[in-house]
Amino acid sequence: MSRIVLKPTLQPELFVYSFPVRVYFENTDAGGVVYHGEYLKFLERARTEWLRHLGFDHQALARNHRVTLVVTSLAIDFGKAARLDDNVAVSVRLESLGKVRCVFAQEVRRDDEVLVKAKVTVACVACESFKPTEIPEGLRKKMEAAI
């Protein structure tokens, strides 16, 4: 029996980060189909791992820069269902970058089949006030290289 190793990938020529997710029983309804709310978790997980790939994480941003990243807008299209035990890839592509906000284009794929497409707007806010603030310079530079 062959063993599949799930590893995130970065395709530099496309500037797309891909994070693997296996669908577990906890992600599905009684029919073994992924519950729609679970896709939000998959998308969040992939953006978090993309951030780690850039050398940053949420706790370090809060501790060192006193900022956090929050979702301010989300548009999602559900095309096809993922099912129990599927291996899917959740992609992250930075579509635009402003001083405070950025927009991600994300997809959930099973092999070459697009299951879900999402556009996620994220804002940088101060930890204490939750008021918009500029994305820290070091993170911004890494993000600019990903566009």
Asked about 57 being catalytic, the answer comes back as: no
Query: Which amino acid would we find at residue 73?
Result: S
Question: Among residues 29, 57, 77, 85, which one is catalytic?
Answer: 29
CA distances from 65 to 57, 68, 74, 125 (A): 11, 9, 25, 10
The CA-atom distances, in angstroms, between 33 and each of 13, 30, 87 are 33, 8, 13
Element spanning 93, H or E:
strand 87-97
Residues with a catalytic annotation lie at 29
